[in-house]
A and B are shown apart, each in its own frame.
Chain A
Amino acid sequence: MKRLLLTFSLLAFAVLAFGQAKKPIIMVVPSDQYCISRGYKMEFNNQGLKQVLPDYKTALQTDPDLRLVITKMGQIMADRGFPLKDLEQELKNLEQERAESSMLTSSSSGSEMAESPIDALKRVAKADIIMDLDFEVKRQGPQKYIVFNLKGLDAYTAKQVSGVAGAGSPSTSASPELLLEEAVLSHMDNFNAGLMRHFEDMFAKGREVKVQIKVWANWGENLESEFGSDGNELSTIIEDWFADNCVEGRFNLSDATENFMKFEQVRIPMMRTDEKGRQRAVDTRSFVSDLRKYLNGMGIPSKLYMRGLGEAWLILGEK
């Protein structure tokens, strides 16, 4: 009964909270350790450096246990108002998209679609929160049990926002499928509670994002150049802007040189009122876009480059 109440309260909160704000995309991804230890891996020679990466496609196509766990998780999360993005479907989608865009030509001139290397690089499965999953069926005498490790990671801040780890109850008769189901059910509520704490914190103190300020190589100025009537250094001007615009002035300038500034734990508001008086959801792009406009007013052109919902780069000097 207690569990049911908790579930309903979480569901109600989630529906209210995410009614208008930008929803993060959540995706279950098998951990590197899970894939590599089971041979679902790809090896690359990167200029003499051996690089091993997980092969998600093979893992999802051949591992029935993994599929079962992901399906169960998807079901539970959807019941609580957090529909998951399916990795396998997303990978298929990307392949289809890739094929379609390479075939698509203009009917009048036969022109191809413009695509820069960066555009091609962006065609990968993306999520704002990754549910990093690892599990293993273990034996203890005649009994079998499941060891389960699930981490909720913010893809941009690289912070663990929730996590559960532990073992399911041992059984002699239950099939691995039942053991897996039981393990997922017993751990997901704890995991969701952690996730909810993260979202509550987000609403109270703003969404935590990362912003990097960089400089084009051919710009004659840098972040130590002086601008404005007070002759302040550009880095100081930018820092002041963050102090004025972050929720409760919260941000952390973790590193800086004359060519870059790295802002972490930047708290941006979830919602804001636009010029027409409408309530609009805020993401990193719209937040940093305001900084871009501010700097533009000082005669500093810049290019805004997005890295998803939670990270943006502002490159100064030209568009």
Chain B
Amino acid sequence: MKKLILSIAVLTGFALSLNAQNSQGKTDDMGRIALAAIVPEQATGIPQEARQMLVNKMSQIATQNGLGATAANPRFCIVPLVTVVSKEITPTAPPMQAVNLDVTFYIVDAASQNIFSQTNISVKGVGQTEDKAYIQALKNINVRAGQFKGFIEKGKEKIIEYYNSQCDVVLKGAQALAGQKKYEEALFVLLSVPDVCRECFDKSMDLSIEIYKQYANYKCTEYMAGAKAAWANMNADKAAEYLGKITPDMECYADAVRLTDEITQKMLADGANVWNFKMKQYDDSIEKDKMMIQAGKEIAVAWAYWGAAPYFNWDWSWLYQQK
């Protein structure tokens, strides 16, 4: 009897523990590539109100078939190209505008300017204004249409394929940028490699540490020069500002420490109060490589954000050629 009760208890417990587990499947590698829906400013001719409708439709297409991303980091995007095939204005009361649109969706890499996949759909819309006609036409896009599934899948496959086959080119390109002292851009290129392309991702992370070191040393020289110049002018505060930016991972850190000591001694000898400036210290427990990758990421994001302007300011002229 005891045995029976024990076995029932064990089995019930096992069944409960099974139920408590998350039954959701894991997203595969391809599913992890997030696509941002963007209607770039260069996509002219689309009325303002219709733009948002188009963004919503594209976001739905992305999320229906994997992951959607916000426009905050839109390297891989779905972008539309809307062509007016015909437009009619009826001489009725009130006049009605009928538009026949050809909407082409592209999955692109905004940085490398590659088109990975495309699909086309024709829609018609009628309204009292051009905006209303556009909105009605775009409303008719069925995001569940079979063609979009293939479109997204093909796009993601091509993205992975691109990084698997072009990894050397990407790495070389980053090195070349670093050689031109465009370290931020080089880090951005390396840190944009999606983690689903394992081999290339690992290689680019390794290279990003190297380039970050070059960047840090380059910056260190710059800060040291600034600090020395400030100290030459007896401007201790300005010198402190420069020295404060030098971190222990930079090559010239030792020189910076020496200069700090020199300034401190001089200030004390001149009868000043204790110059309580302290340089940055890192906790040794932090893994150095991880820290460098993180620092590199911050630099890359800052570059993309400030260096490239709103929407990341990709140049879309390659896709939207002006007439």
Contact = CB atoms under 8 A, between A and B. Distances in A.
B94 A56 contact: yes
Contact of A124 (B88, B92, B124): B92
Interface of A: 29, 42, 44, 46-47, 51, 53-54, 56-57, 87, 90-91, 94, 117-118, 120-121, 123-125
Contacts of A118: 126
Interface string B45-81: 0000000000000000000000000000000000000
Contacts of B137: 117
Return the 10 tightest CB-CB contacts between A and B, nearest first: A124-B92, A120-B126, A125-B93, A117-B126, A117-B124, A56-B93, A121-B126, A53-B95, A44-B89, A51-B89
B39 interface: no
A120 B94 contact: no
Contacts of B271: none
A44 B94 contact: no
A44 B128 CA distance: 12
Q: Classify the secondary structure of B's interface with A.
A: strand
Given A46-B89, A57-B93, A123-B96, 17 more contacts: A42-B95, A44-B95, A53-B95, A56-B93, A87-B93, A94-B94, A117-B98, A117-B125, A117-B137, A120-B96, A120-B126, A120-B127, A121-B98, A124-B92, A124-B94, A124-B96, A125-B94
A3 to B, nearest CB: 33
Nearest to B88: A46
Nearest to B97: A44
Nearest to B92: A124
Contacts of A46: 87-89
Nearest to A32: B91
A29 B84 CA distance: 32
A151 to B, nearest CB: 16
B308 to A, nearest CB: 33
A69 to B, nearest CB: 17
A125 B89 contact: no
30 contacts: A29-B93, A44-B89, A44-B95, A44-B97, A46-B88, A46-B89, A47-B87, A51-B89, A53-B91, A53-B95, A57-B94, A87-B93, A90-B93, A91-B93, A91-B94, A94-B94, A117-B124, A117-B126, A117-B136, A118-B126, A120-B125, A120-B126, A120-B127, A120-B136, A121-B98, A121-B126, A123-B96, A124-B94, A124-B96, A125-B94
Interface in B122-142: 124-127, 136-137
Nearest to A90: B93
Contacts of A121: 90, 96, 98, 126
Contacts of A56: 93-94
Nearest to B91: A53
User: Which residue, of B88, B89, B98, has the highest number of chain A Cβ atoms within 10 A?
Assistant: B89
Contacts, number: 50
Contacts of B97: 44
A47 B136 CA distance: 19
B79 to A, nearest CB: 23
Contacts of B136: 117, 120
B29 to A, nearest CB: 37
Nearest to A118: B126
A57 B94 CA distance: 8
User: Which residue, of B87, B92, B127, B136, has the highest number of chain A Cβ atoms within 10 A?
Assistant: B92
Contacts of B84: 47
A125 B96 CA distance: 11
Contact of B93 (A47, A120, A124): A124
Contacts of A42: 95
Interface string B93-124: 11111100000000000000000000000001
A53 B93 CA distance: 9
Contacts of B127: 120
Contacts of A47: 84, 86-87
A54 B93 CA distance: 8
Contacts of A123: 96
Contacts of A94: 94
Contacts of B125: 117, 120
B99 to A, nearest CB: 9
Contacts of A51: 89
Contacts of A57: 93-94
User: Which residue, of B86, B93, B98, has the highest number of chain A Cβ atoms within 10 A?
Assistant: B93
A117 B97 CA distance: 10
A189 B56 CA distance: 60
Contacts of B98: 117, 121
User: Which residue, of A47, A54, A91, A124, has the highest number of chain B Cβ atoms within 10 A?
Assistant: A124
Nearest to A125: B93
Contacts of A91: 93-94
User: Which residue, of B84, B96, B136, has the highest number of chain A Cβ atoms within 10 A?
Assistant: B96
